[in-house]
Chains A and B, each alone.
Chain A
C-alpha cells in the first residue's frame, strides 16, 4: 500500500466496475445480458485497427477504435436477429466469434511483425490493471463517472421503457432513443472496462453483479446499489491480487470474486435465494399440515357429533396420512396456538380449534361445489383440487364464492357446508 499508484489503480478499477454493474443491471432486466459478451469480443479488432492506423497506443485512440467495432458488433447482432431467420443465440455466437477471430488474426499479426510498442495489446484480453499509469486511470475513471451520470440522468424514463415498453410508448417517451442510449452506454462502458478485466471475461462484470443482486431484492434502486457494491468489492479484490502476484491477470480474479458473490447470493439471498425459498416452502407446508389436521379432527367430530372430543393419535393418523414427525410437529404447534388440547396419546379440538377446522372444511366444500357447478367437473374429480386450494382462499374470495353459489348448504357429495363462524 506504500505505492501511491496502487491506490489510483484500485480506485479507477473500482469506479469502472461500478459503472459496468449499473449499466449491466439494465441490460439484464432487458433480457439482453449476453449482448455484452458479443460486444466485448467485437472490441478486439477495433483496438488492433486503431493501433495499426495510428501507429501508437494513445488510450483515447484505442478507446475510439474499441467503441467503433463494439458498436458495429452490436448492430450486427441486432440486424441478424431482426432481418434473418437466425435466432438471437446464433446471431450472438456468430458475431462474437467472427469479430474475435478478426481480432485474434490482427493481434497475432501485429505481435509477430515486432512493432516496437506492441507488447501492451494483449493486456486487453484478460486485463492488467496494475500496468495502468496514473494519467490513464484518471481518464478512464472520469469517463466511467460520466457513464454513471448519463445513466442517472435517463434513469426514470429508462426504467419505464424496461418495465413496461408499451406504457412508455403511449406515454410518448422517446423509447427507441432511450434504448439506443442504453446500447451506447453498454458499448462505451465495455470499451472502458476491458482495461480492468479484459475482453474475454467482460461479460461477467455486466451480468454477474446484477444477477447476484436480484437474489436479495426486487426493488430496482436497491438492486442497483447492491450490484454496484458487489462489483466494487470484487474489483478491488481482483486488482489487489493481480498487484500482489504480478504474473496474474486481473480479469479472472475479479470474475472469480464476482462468481463467489453470486454463489453466496443464490444460496442465501433474502428475496429469491435458495435458503429463503426453502424456508418459505417449509413454513407453507407446516401451515398446510396444521390446517389439514384441524380439518381432520373437525370431520371426525362431524361423524360422531362430538367436535371437541379427545381422540387417539392412531385414530387421527388412520384418517390423515402424514409422516409421524410432521404430525407431532403440527399437534405441538396447534396446542401452542390454543386450538388443541392434548393428553397422553390423545388430542382434541378446543372451541377455537373446532371453529378453525370448520372454516377449512367449509372452504374445501365450497370449492368442490364451485368446480362442479361452474366448471362442470364431475364430483369425483374435485377433491384433489380442493385439497390444494383450501389453504390459500382468502375471506374475500370465500365471500364471493358463497354469493356466487347462492349460499349453499350441501357440497356435491351431499356433506353439509359448515356455516360461517366468527373465530373467537
Chain B
C-alpha cells in the first residue's frame, strides 16, 4: 500500500466520520432527506463561487455553498409553512430545481468551472493526493482536502462535545427542550449549517449524491444496534471508517468509482446490522422454552 492509497483512505474516513456524526442527528430528527436536499442544492453555490472567484479558493466556495445550504433549508420550510405545500413535495421541488441549475451552470461554463459532471456524480477522491498544499517557502504540507476535512471533523467533534445536551434534547424531546429554554430553531439551523459545510467539503471527494450514503448508512446501521446516542455515534463513526477502507479495496479490485464502492460497503454493513437486528428480535420474541415438569 502506498502513501497515496493511505491518503485516499484517510480522506474517505474523514468524510465518513464527519457525515456519520451529523447524519446521526439528522436521522434522529427525521430530517435525512433534508440532508439529501442540501447535498444537491450546494451545487449551484459551488458553481457560482467558481465563476465569481475564478479559482477553487475554499473560503468563497464554503461561503457560497453554506449560503445555498441554508437557503435550501429555509426554502423548504417556507414552502411548507407559507405556501402550504406538503413536506415531501417541498423537498423534491427545491432540490431538483437547484441541482438542475447547478448542472446547467457547470455545462454552460465548462471552460471556467474546474469541475466536471463526473466529479459531481461520482466524486474524485482518487485525485486527492494531487491537490497539495504548498507553503510560500516551498514546503509541502500534504493534500489540501485532508487538512480541510480534518478541520471540519474537529469542528463537528467540538460542537458535539460542547453542545451535547441541547443537540440531544432537541433531537429526542423537542417539547422538553423548549420547556428548558433551548430553541429548537437555532439548533436546527446550526446543524443545517454544519451539514452544508460537510457536504461542500466532501463534495470533490465523493460527489453530490454519494454524500448521502455516508450521512444515512452508518447512522442507520448503528440505530438498529443501539438505542443510546453515545454508542450510536461511536458505532456509526466506526462503520464509516471501515467502509472507507474496505470500499477502497473494492474499488481497486473492480477498477471503479471509489466513492461508489464505499457506498456499496456501507450498504453491506447496513444489511449485516439489519440481519443482526432481525435475528435478535426473533430470539427475543420467541416464547421461553417450557420448563420440564
Q: Does A103 contact B (CB under 8 A)?
A: yes
A34–B88 CB distance below 8 A: yes
State the A residues within 8 Å of B (CB).
28, 31-34, 36-37, 41, 80, 83-87, 89-90, 92-94, 96-109, 112-113, 125-126, 200-201, 203-204, 206-208, 210-211, 214, 247-249, 251-253, 255-256, 258-259, 262, 266, 272, 274
A252–B100 CB distance below 8 A: yes
Q: Does B25 contact A (CB under 8 A)?
A: no
0/1 string, B254-269, CB within 8 A of A gives 1: 1111011111101100
B100–A101 CB distance below 8 A: no
* A272: nearest chain-B partner, CB-CB: B84
B117–A97 CB distance below 8 A: no
**Residue in contact with A249 in the complex, picked from B103, B209, B270, CB distance below 8 Å:** B103
**Residue in contact with A204 in the complex, picked from B82, B100, B207, B250, CB distance below 8 Å:** B100
A102–B88 CB distance below 8 A: no
Given the known A-B contacts A86-B224, A89-B30, A204-B97, are A105 and B264 also in contact in the complex, defined by CB atoms under 8 Å?
Answer: yes
- Chain A nearest CB from B63 CB (Å) reads 24
Q: Does B93 contact A (CB under 8 A)?
A: yes
* B35: nearest chain-A partner, CB-CB: A93
Q: Does B155 contact A (CB under 8 A)?
A: no
CA distance A102 to B260 in the complex (A): 6
Q: Does B54 contact A (CB under 8 A)?
A: no
Which positions 207-252 of chain B face chain A at CB distance < 8 Å? Answer: 207, 209-210, 212-213, 215-217, 219-220, 223-224, 250-251
The secondary-structure label for the interface of chain A is helix
**Residue in contact with A201 in the complex, picked from B30, B100, B257, CB distance below 8 Å:** B100
- Chain B nearest CB from A115 CB (Å) reads 12
In the complex, which residues of chain A have a beta carbon less than 8 angstroms from the beta carbon of B224? 84-86
Q: Does B55 contact A (CB under 8 A)?
A: no
B260–A105 CB distance below 8 A: yes
In the complex, which residues of chain B have a beta carbon less than 8 angstroms from the beta carbon of A108? 122, 256-257, 260
Q: Does B134 contact A (CB under 8 A)?
A: no
A86–B220 CB distance below 8 A: yes
- Chain A nearest CB from B37 CB (Å) reads 10
In the complex, which residues of chain B have a beta carbon less than 8 angstroms from the beta carbon of A107? 122, 256-257, 260
Interface size on B, residues (CB 8 A): 61
A102–B107 CB distance below 8 A: no
**Residue in contact with B217 in the complex, picked from A83, A94, A103, CB distance below 8 Å:** A94
- Chain A nearest CB from B277 CB (Å) reads 7
In the complex, which residues of chain B have a beta carbon less than 8 angstroms from the beta carbon of A272? 83-84
* B30: nearest chain-A partner, CB-CB: A87
CA distance A214 to B79 in the complex (A): 13
Q: Does B200 contact A (CB under 8 A)?
A: no
B122–A86 CB distance below 8 A: no
Which positions 16-44 of chain B face chain A at CB distance < 8 Å? Answer: 27, 30-33, 35-36
CA distance A266 to B75 in the complex (A): 13
CA distance A96 to B37 in the complex (A): 13
A104–B82 CB distance below 8 A: no
CA distance A256 to B108 in the complex (A): 14
A92–B107 CB distance below 8 A: no
* A106: nearest chain-B partner, CB-CB: B256
Please, could you name 10 A-B residue pairs with CB atoms under 8 Å apart, sorted by A?
A: A33-B89, A41-B209, A89-B31, A98-B266, A102-B264, A104-B209, A104-B263, A106-B256, A207-B96, A252-B100
A253–B216 CB distance below 8 A: no
* A211: nearest chain-B partner, CB-CB: B89
- Chain B nearest CB from A273 CB (Å) reads 8
Given the known A-B contacts A34-B88, A102-B260, A252-B103, are A93 and B93 also in contact in the complex, defined by CB atoms under 8 Å?
Answer: no
Given the known A-B contacts A201-B96, A255-B96, A255-B100, are A101 and B260 also in contact in the complex, defined by CB atoms under 8 Å?
Answer: yes
Q: Does B110 contact A (CB under 8 A)?
A: yes
CA distance A60 to B242 in the complex (A): 39
**Residue in contact with A92 in the complex, picked from B33, B255, B257, B261, CB distance below 8 Å:** B33
A97–B107 CB distance below 8 A: no
In the complex, which residues of chain B have a beta carbon less than 8 angstroms from the beta carbon of A103? 260
Q: Does B85 contact A (CB under 8 A)?
A: yes
Q: Does B86 contact A (CB under 8 A)?
A: yes
- Chain A nearest CB from B82 CB (Å) reads 7
**Residue in contact with B220 in the complex, picked from A94, A247, A266, CB distance below 8 Å:** A94
Given the known A-B contacts A90-B216, A105-B256, A200-B99, are A97 and B209 also in contact in the complex, defined by CB atoms under 8 Å?
Answer: yes
In the complex, which residues of chain B have a beta carbon less than 8 angstroms from the beta carbon of A210? 89
Q: Does B51 contact A (CB under 8 A)?
A: no
CA distance A208 to B261 in the complex (A): 32
In the complex, which residues of chain B have a beta carbon less than 8 angstroms from the beta carbon of A105? 250-251, 254, 256-257, 260-261, 263-264
B260–A104 CB distance below 8 A: yes
Given the known A-B contacts A93-B35, A105-B264, A112-B255, are A100 and B210 also in contact in the complex, defined by CB atoms under 8 Å?
Answer: yes
Q: Does B92 contact A (CB under 8 A)?
A: yes
**Residue in contact with B256 in the complex, picked from A33, A109, A211, A251, CB distance below 8 Å:** A109
- Chain B nearest CB from A278 CB (Å) reads 11
Q: Does B91 contact A (CB under 8 A)?
A: yes
CA distance A125 to B260 in the complex (A): 15
* B117: nearest chain-A partner, CB-CB: A126
In the complex, which residues of chain B have a beta carbon less than 8 angstroms from the beta carbon of A100? 209-210, 213, 260, 263
- Chain A nearest CB from B115 CB (Å) reads 15
Given the known A-B contacts A89-B33, A249-B107, are A259 and B256 also in contact in the complex, defined by CB atoms under 8 Å?
Answer: no
* B215: nearest chain-A partner, CB-CB: A93
CA distance A89 to B36 in the complex (A): 10
CA distance A112 to B121 in the complex (A): 16
Additional A-B contact list (9), CB under 8 Å, known A101-B261, A211-B85, A255-B100:
A85-B223, A90-B30, A97-B263, A102-B260, A105-B250, A112-B256, A207-B96, A266-B83, A272-B83
CA distance A214 to B27 in the complex (A): 30
B96–A93 CB distance below 8 A: no
A200–B121 CB distance below 8 A: yes
B99–A101 CB distance below 8 A: no
Q: Which of B31, B99, B256 has the most CB of A within 10 A?
A: B256
In the complex, which residues of chain B have a beta carbon less than 8 angstroms from the beta carbon of A83? 278
0/1 string, B95-132, CB within 8 A of A gives 1: 01101110110011010000001000110000000000
